[in-house]
Structure 1
Amino acid sequence: MIKLVELGGVFCGRTDELVNLTVDDIEDVGSSLIVKIPNTKTKIPRIFVVTDVGNMLELFRKYLSLRPPHVKHKRLFLYFKAGKCSSQPVGKNTMGKIPSVVASYLKLPDVADVACYTGHCLRRSLATLLADAGVDITTIKRHAGWKSTTIAEGYVENSIENKTKIANQVLVGTTTSAITKTVNVSESNPSFLPSNINFENCTNVTFNLNVNK
């Protein structure tokens, strides 16, 4: 249950939305999970997709298979007690404490200070992971359900990865330019990349190959 909450938290971000998540809100389409969050804080329904990276789908299916057949409600997250899954749904307080449980297990810094690892850690993790991946603030807001750019930026942690990128930009500098080079390749002209094209200190380089048969 804790693993699945962490997974949902990283994708969704709000523990209160996870608390109210039901089995009907998740559609298993084989290669991925389509998760619908109908009741959100902003009153705007959201949808996110979980792909099969790191056996995430296997984790969800295994957890769902442990669900007792006599459970009358449809809440997804249930307590696991005495070696088996109970019918009692996980409450908001328990859900909010899960980040501190994970922090203790991983022996993270300041783990003794419970206030450092609340449910908001999931929301910060979501925003920071997207920012580190180069996702723009508009996409982050749309995915996480934020209306305010200021609030969304406030959740993005000053991670070491972000700081490293900034340091490289300060020291090396960045330039944005588009260079188009057309090379005709045939059986009589097998060379692909002319020797007079050099790439140095480049990032975000894209090669477009057009094959005409």
Structure 2
Amino acid sequence: MKIKKSVEKFLNTVSVERNLSDNTLKAYLGDLTAFGKFLQEKDITEIDCDDLRQYIRILEANHYKDTTIKRKIATIKVFFNFLEQEGIISDSPTRKIRKRYITAKRLPKVMSKDEVERLLREAYHEVRKLSELSRQLVESNSPNDKLMRAYRDRVILEILFSTGIRIGELVNLDIEDVNLNDECILIFGKGRRERIVLISNSEVLKALKEYLILRKNIPSRSKALFLNKYGERLSIYSIEHIFQKYCEKAKIRSHYTPHCLRHTMATMLLNNGADIRVVQEILGHSCITTTQIYTEVSLEHKKRVLMKFNQRNKMKIIS
């Protein structure tokens, strides 16, 4: 069996039996397609450890990140384990691959309070500016496309920062996921886990209500909360474009991504004394160790811990 056929069989099976998310399936497909190109459609039974070692060397030579190489190796191992279980191959060639990658510990990139405020102010300023322009140009109360997008962009940035949700979770939101009565949003996170995030700020809630009034009047078959100009669900790339647009308007020079709003929100929660377990639940982390990375960038948290628990503070050496 050629590798292309075996990859198709693998993906078709795991998508049904393991209930994997679309993102996981896309990652599997990307990793295995690249691996297949390297093998040039070699028969699956002919692949051995030397092929795998050569592929890893090529990845290293092309300066892939250690995290990327580690993920690709993990994907290949899952793939060959499946083929072995299905009886397509007798033994997985990955068994003899002992190489371990110690991934570098990278701290989350966090925006300053001033940068977040400038970013959000620009989003609110855009709505005010276009609202005034709209009133001057037409007598109708119906907002134009640019103004609609300004209302949309404002609430997108507000929700990303105030709730700390992932951009993938944001673009997957549907209108029905928003509960204005309880002031919360239902999120479908990684591993298809559900959680509820609360909207705790009155300005954010007001921005969301204003957008929802406009959204419900948009003629679209899509049930998505956030739409592009064609009436279709926004993509992750669109969110990145929106974020960069307002970073430029706010004259924020550092290179940030929309995900930095999540990092910033989590770090600020810890700085303000939030319990790490609660932060874990808010962010939707399955493991507390993922949340603990934010304590590394929370200087205020470190200071409080040292002031409270460092035994040196209880010693009086100089009389």
- How far apart, CA to CA, are the structure 2 residues paired with 1:157 and 1:6? 25
One-letter amino acid matched to 1:60: L
Aligned to 1:78: 227
Note if 1:35 corresponds to 2:185.
yes
Task: Decide whether aligned partners of structure 1 residues 133 and 9 sit closer, same or farther in structure 2, where only a CA change above 3 A counts.
Answer: same
Task: Decide whether aligned partners of structure 1 residues 108 and 153 sit closer, same or farther in structure 2, where only a CA change above 3 A counts.
Answer: farther
One-letter amino acid matched to 1:90: L
- The alpha-carbon deviation at position 89 of structure 1 amounts to 2.6
Which residue of 6, 13, 16 maps to 2:165?
A: 13
- Higher fraction of helix: 2
One-letter amino acid matched to 1:134: G
Note if 1:123 corresponds to 2:262.
yes
Aligned to 2:251: 107
After superposing on structure 2, the runs of 4+ consecutive aligned residues of structure 1 that deviate more than 4 Å are 159-170
Aligned to 1:25: 177
Structure 1: segments with no counterpart, 5+ residues: 80-84, 111-115, 176-213
Q: Give the number of aligned pairs.
A: 160
Task: Decide whether aligned partners of structure 1 residues 73 and 144 sit closer, same or farther in structure 2, where only a CA change above 3 A counts.
Answer: same
One-letter amino acid matched to 1:153: Q
Aligned to 1:64: 212
Moved more, 70-79 or 88-97: 88-97
Q: Report which structure shows greater RCO (CA 8 Å, sep ≥6).
A: 1
Q: Deviations 1:98-146 (Å, cap 9, x if unpaired)? A: 3333322222242xxxxx3113212202211211221121111111111
- How far apart, CA to CA, are the structure 1 residues paired with 2:252 and 2:301? 20
What secondary structure sits across from 1:131 in the alignment?
helix
What secondary structure sits across from 2:183 in the alignment?
strand
Aligned to 2:194: 45
Asked whether the equivalents of residues 270 and 298 of structure 2 are also in contact (C-alpha less than 8 Å), the reply is no
- How far apart, CA to CA, are the structure 1 residues paired with 2:175 and 2:183? 12
Please report the TM-score for the alignment, with normalisation by the length of structure 2. Answer: 0.44
Q: Name the % identity.
A: 26
Q: Deviations 1:1-49 (Å, cap 9, x if unpaired)? A: 22211222120420000001011000111xx522111x21132201011
Asked whether the equivalents of residues 271 and 300 of structure 2 are also in contact (C-alpha less than 8 Å), the reply is yes
Please report the TM-score for the alignment, with normalisation by the length of structure 1. Answer: 0.63
The RMSD of aligned alpha carbons is 2.9
